[in-house]
Structure 1
Amino acid sequence: MSNETNKQKLTTASGRPYFENENTMSVGPRGPLLLQDYILHEKMAHFNRERIPERVVHAKGSGAFGTFTVTDDITQYTKAKLFNQVGKQTRVFLRFSTVGGEKGSADTERDPRGFALKFYTEDGNWDLVGNNTPIFFIKDPKKFGDFIHTQKRDPRTNCKSATMMWDFWALNPESLHQVLLLMSDRGTPYSYRHLNGYGSHTFSLINQKNERVYVKFHFKTQQGIKNFTDAEAGEVRGKDPDHAQRDLVEAIDRGDFPRWAMKIQVMTEEQARTSPFNPFDVTKVWPHGDYPLVDVGILELNEVPSNYFADVEQAAFAPAHLVDGIGFSPDKMLQGRLLSYPDAHRYRLGANYEQIPVNRCPFAVNNYQRDGQMRIDGNGGSAPNYWPNSFDNITADESYKEPAQTLESTLADWYDRNGPGENDHYTQPGQFYSKVLSDVDRVHLVQNIVNSMKGIDGPRKQDIVNRQLCHFFRANIQLGLAVAQGLGTDISSFMPMANQQPA
């Protein structure tokens, strides 16, 4: 068959074939243009609307499809169907991202990395929306907007501001654990393939007996952890701001499929009740010695989306999207995200965002939601749009009913979270500095903190510096001394504070 017969006609969005795709109808070769040239209107109007609102956070990202394969039996903990058989495979989509920067920011910025995973299961889509860190800066969702504002741009200068960042952190000591992790070389990963992923929050698993345990989800990179130093990250930022995106695409294209080992930590309800720290506080980790990692399966990325916008930019993840056998916990930050994430997607993509192919469940979806912008599934046709009704056979399956959950209180109040085990913001950051980091890591951490804090300016500079130094001293006296020395700050006033036990 000749190429002539294979040719496809150029058409408008409505399907009308046309020829003049480069020249606008005008009055004479130099005259004004005619309003009747609809092709000009359509091309320009669509171009003006090509950019949907970027994500308020996690704007810059990369993504790929892949598979999750169960390698170990965890059915004693969960009845979730994707885990019900060793060897079972489930299709997934994973989006990596930086958090604070805009869509055009560099991949090597000092920032946490988003690790958002969508499992296309037979019981619906499960979204596990986390980061490359097992912890976060804050533990109450009311603080989230304020925190993110400090990571964005100063309302006066429209520049990033070290003063804003450190002022917030110094006034919120719960952020110290994540701040130390961010300021270490872990804050500048070499690529998306060389970082771990975490669900971060505490979730729950429910088994066939309706027994509940609490869990943390971990994804350990099988490529090995690899980070840039601050200087290396800065150099790559100037040479290739899309370094991580390029690295991911090129690795998959050459068949070097990145893989992660999925593991869980498990805590019983009784252990949660008697824990000396709040296990639902996302600024805390669960000690691995008390709650060892349990093997679950292997995640592999093996398919680059054919169109970045269609799949990566329009992908929408929400912690509220769980499946039978996986549940929530009293984690306050998680509870806040259950509202904010779907709300953000409805604003950015429309009320029917889950009909976009990358977000669509590949199995049966039956409900009575109707109408709204961009409804593309037939809108239910002539079927009833209310329930219960006498005409269709959609039923609520009682086998999916979740067991009741015992709450610790019947008193609703605005708690200040200062109870026992709630207000120790220093022990785990101190352990991170002294036991997790190597000698070289500690040197780089202090250098990165000093370089960043030197950017603090304005009339409250010394107040902010002193307040943050207090946190460093309380976490680890050597850390406090090293940072103070790097900043050229007199340490005499901090010594009594350094000797205090964590609150």
Structure 2
Amino acid sequence: MSKKLTTETGQPWADNQHSQTAGSRGPVLMQDYDLLEKLAHFDRERIPERVVHAKGAGAKGEFVLENDMSKYTKADLFNGSGKKTPLIMRFSQVAGEKGYPDTVRDVRGFSVKFYTQKGNYDIVGNNTPVFFVNDPLKFPDFIHSQKRDPKTNRRTQTMQWDFWSHSPESLHQVTYLMGDRGLPTSYREMNGYGSHTFKWVNKNGEQFWIKYHLKSDQGVVNMTNDAAEKISGKDTDFLQNDLFDAIDNENYPSWTMYVQILPYEEGLHYKWDIFDVTKTVSHKDYPLIKVGKLTLNENPSNNFTDVEEAAFSPANLIPGIEASPDKLLQGRLFSYKDTQRYRLGVNFEDLPINKPINEVHNYERDGSMKINNQGSEVNYEPNSFDGPKETLAASVTPVDLEGHSGNQPYNYKVDYTTQAGDLYRLFTDDEKDRLIETIKDCLLQVDSQEIKTLEIKQMYKADPEYGSRVAKALNLNIDEILSTEY
């Protein structure tokens, strides 16, 4: 038996083909509330797209813990080998709008929401282990440089290279982006990283610094500039479609989660600042430890409610997992939920895709589109009516702080070129050739000599061959570049 057409409030809908009119030729009657409701809803079908990571794709699945990590963390999903936790993952592009081709060179977002027994836990990362900036004050400016020129409304190489050349901390990430990993062949064939350093705490209160690595079990596969350009002209949703079709054909993609674990005091005195997100921690110093496997086995039943309305935030932490002093992470703890309140409304966490699987009890009430208003439960505290009580065991573990207040940069072993040079030297000869060619194609579109000079000098400091090759590719004299001051 076919379903009966109804209004949003359940009344039967008599005619969905013809408006009510005064005579067969019209005009339309204002009393046709079905028409007015349909048009009013249609007018509001598009929520504001994400400021960044607007275009993306996602799917549901599960995480299976393969190595009990209770020695390091009391976090629910990492305790008890074999434990299964449902999840949703979303992959995305950083800069492009929702209609932009998803094969354009860009960093890819890599976000996971775990529905644990102790609340939702989100890892909101990228397919690179570092980022362009390490201070949240610079983040809006960075994103503006990746978006559109306010006069021409074009995305320009000048804007982004201008920002990068005046932000030396960006070089490590720029080298990743301009290299092969800037063009993944599919979402299935790229790694994911938490990027920031986080803190794990076990049931005894012992603290450890950790970094997340999610390695693709399909391997890492990238495409060339020519291939990406051809595909973007044929299918602007290539990466999205690949993910959906793979899962639809029961070719379920998976990632193995690893962590690097640094003892608390050792981490504070490591050779690099582990709270600077432009830096990595050497695998030789702290090898990867296997944790478990994430598998995607269910496509969205409705892309809007399952993917567009999905709201991720690094502030979604559970007992046993805490934030580090990382400045950029600290800014993200506020910004991510705040942008969701703008995009989806103040009660976005009531939406089914964002609801935790455990019960919610607090003193937050009302607001637009509130779904779970907690009935007749008392809505203030303190109270004498047995309202929700604090869970002291969930308290954040204290961190010792030192120094003075004020606007100040990182000052612990500041060096923004060595790791970029290390990355360059890890590339094969073919990878280096493609990196130089990509940078050349980009910088040829930049007229400013200052921008080119500043960027090449940074590359030269990272590795003389790196800077010299870029200069040669642009028909510039490296000696003149190195002697020029701005």
The one-letter amino acid paired with 2:436 is: V
Secondary structure of 2:22's counterpart equals: coil
Q: Write the letter of the residue equivalent to 1:307.
A: N
Match of 2:136 among 138, 141, 148: 141
Offset from partner CA, 1:395-445 (integer Å, 9 cap, x none): 222222233211133x2111133x3412x11100001001x2111110000
Q: Supply the distance in 2 between the matched residues of 1:219 and 1:369 (Cα, whole angstroms).
A: 35
Q: Unpaired segments of 5 or more residues in structure 2?
A: none
Question: What secondary structure is seen at the aligned counterpart in 2 of 1:430?
Answer: helix
Tell me by how many angstroms 1:269 deviates: 2.0
Match status 1:86 vs 2:73 = no
Greater CA drift, 29-38 or 255-264: 29-38
Q: Give the C-alpha shift of residue 68 in structure 1.
A: 0.5
State the match for 1:183 in structure 2. 178
1:431 and 2:425 correspond: no
Specify the code of the residue in structure 2 equivalent to 1:462: Q
Mapping for residues 448-459 of structure 1, pairs under 5 Å: 448-457=438-447
- Separation in structure 2 between the aligned mates of residue 488 and residue 219 of structure 1, nearest angstrom: 40
Whether contact under 8 Å (2:272, 2:281) holds in the other structure is: no
Deviation at 1:393, TM superposition (A): 5.1
SS in structure 1 of the partner of residue 14 of structure 2: coil
Partner of 2:396 in structure 1? 402
The residue aligned with 1:443 is 433
Aligned counterpart for 1:463 among listed residues 437, 442, 450:
450
Distance in 2 separating the partners of 1:236 and 1:329? 40
Partner in structure 1 of residue 308 of structure 2: 313
Per-residue deviation, 1:489: 1.2
CA–CA separation in structure 2 for the residues paired with 1:57 and 1:159: 17
Cα distance in structure 1, aligned partners of 2:95 and 2:193:
18
- Native 8 Å contact 2:361 2:374 kept in 1: no
Structure 1: 5+ residue stretches without partners? 1-5, 498-503
CA contact (8 A) 1:63 1:93 kept: yes
1:97 is the counterpart of 2:92:
yes
1:172-251 equivalences under 5 Å are 172-251=167-246
Equivalent residue of 2:128, what SS?
Answer: coil
Name the amino acid aligned to 2:46.
Answer: R
Q: Distance in 2 between matches of 1:448 and 1:360?
A: 43
Count of residue correspondences: 485
Q: Which amino acid aligns with 1:15?
A: G
Offset at residue 496 of structure 1 (A): 6.1
Could you tell me how far apart the structure 1 residues matched to 2:479 and 2:68 are?
A: 57
Which whole-Å CA distance do the structure 2 matches of 1:408 and 1:442 have between them? Answer: 42
Measure how far apart 1:392 and its partner are. 2.5
Map of 1:389 onto structure 2? 383
The equivalent of 1:118 in structure 2 is 113
Q: CA deviation at 1:140?
A: 0.3
What amino acid is the match of 1:68? F
- The CA RMSD measured in Å over matched residues stands at 1.3
SS of corresponding position for 1:266: strand
Residues 1:415 and 2:408 are matched in the alignment: yes
Give the whole-Å Cα distance in 1 for the aligned partners of 2:272 and 2:402: 15
Q: State the alpha-carbon separation in 1 of the partners of residues 145 and 396 from structure 2.
A: 39
Q: Secondary structure at the match of 1:165?
A: helix
Counterpart-to-counterpart distance in 1, 2:141 and 2:116: 36
- Report the Cα distance in structure 2 between the residues aligned to 1:277 and 1:408, rounded to whole angstroms: 18
Mapped to 2, the partners of 1:412 and 1:348 lie a distance apart of: 33
1:329 is paired with a residue whose SS is coil
Q: Do the aligned partners of 2:457 and 2:482 also contact (CA within 8 Å) in 1? A: no
Mapped contact 1:9–1:17 kept (Cα < 8 A): yes
Any conservation in 1 of the 2:64–2:85 contact (CA below 8 Å)? yes
